Amino acid sequence: MLRLNFAVSIFPVGIMILGTSAVSGQDYPNKPIRIITGPAGAGSDLTARQIAQGISGPLGQPVITENRASTFLAAEAVSKAPPDGYALVVQGASLWIQPLLRKMPYDVVRDFSPISLLAREVSIVAVHPSVPAKAIKELVALAKARPGELNYGSAATGSPSHLAAELFKSMATVNIVRIAYKGSPPAITALITGEVQLVITDVGLLAPHVKSGRLRALAVTSAEPTALVPSLPTVAASGLPGYEWVGMTGILAPGKTPAPIINRLNQEIVRVLNLPDLKERFLNAGIEAVGSSPDEFVAIINSEIVRMGKVIRDAGIKTD
């Protein structure tokens, strides 16, 4: 799982699982469960369907995946659902990052009860082959020697590729100029053509171009080496100690869902995540299956709010 060094939360730990008196959980579930997520075919949708299929049998009830036009609409729907365990949401870190950038129709602490992490998405730091850096240490030295001369490409403001690069800049104390694109694929195209010199984004998007030789991969952004690209070192081990950027997808229930229900769901979800065939399917999709306890998920959310909140404030990041 994530190795996080920020233990102090700027929010009260109200996101912890609350209340066991309302429902004992002994009769749960006695009707179909809905997992609400983003658009069909998106990453969270594919993850949600794998989980739904795996837990339906052991729970003895159908688990139905419902799609919304955006992950934010999915989150809003679950935030307003009864806290009875029959409406769940599968979503990535945007659930707790976006409220740092703009007003959202939910309060992450108050309106959700975390159940488990499901997957992590590791990114690659990639440069154009013309960049005279073959390791993170050399890239940092180059950026320090040429402040404001290097550009990085990213998707929209507040996107993972944007925040990953801003975290890199902050920790390395370098000035690399952002060029925004309408998504990571256009940013990667700009990197291939030499319009920008650096991109930090998902392994699945960058790996084919690295393999073809059109781009040079320097490192992965996870705290430890990943099975997704075992040949690459980590950013932390190759020049920027302490750096870690990993996309996370998790599953949550409405706030104040009773602990017995949360624990029942967690038990079945973590069991599914440990199945070898699911781990292989996730790896083939460019992500890693990871499970957690509810309390571990709470701690990660709180810690990431603190860590990324500081990066966002220090960089003056605001939504467009």
Q: Are residues 217 and 183 in the same domain?
A: yes
The residue among 207, 238, 269 that closes a domain is 238
Residue 173 lies in a domain: yes
The residue among 238, 269, 287 that closes a domain is 238
CATH of residue 56: 3.40.190.150
Q: Are residues 92 and 56 in the same domain?
A: yes
Residue-wise pLDDT for 196-222, tens only, equals 999 999 999 999 999 999 999 999 999
Residue 260 lies in a domain: yes
How many distinct structural domains can be found in the chain?
A: 2
Q: Are residues 183 and 162 in the same domain?
A: yes
What's the chain look like in SS3? CCCCCCCCCCCCHHHCCCCCCCCCCCCCCCCCEEEEECCCCCHHHHHHHHHHHHHHHHHCCCEEEEECCCHHHHHHHHHCCCCCCCEEEEEECHHHHHHHCCCCCCCHHHHEEEEEEEEEEEEEEEECCCCCCCCHHHHHHHHHHCCCCCEEEECCCCCHHHHHHHHHHHHHCCCCEEEECCCHHHHHHHHHHCCCCEEEEEHHHHHHHHHHCCCEEEEECCCCCCCCCCCCCECHHHCCCCCCCEEEEEEEEECCCCHHHHHHHHHHHHHHHCCHHHHHHHHHCCCEECCCCHHHHHHHHHHHHHHHHHHHHHHCCCCC
Residue 1 lies in a domain: no
Residue-wise pLDDT for 219-241, tens only, equals 999 999 999 999 999 999 999 99
Residue-wise pLDDT for 59-84, tens only, equals 999 999 999 999 999 999 999 999 99
Tell me the pLDDT of the chain averaged across its residues: 91
Which domain range does residue 57 map to?
Answer: 13-120+247-315
CATH of residue 213: 3.40.190.10
Residue 4 lies in a domain: no
pLDDT at 301: 96
Q: Are residues 106 and 153 in the same domain?
A: no
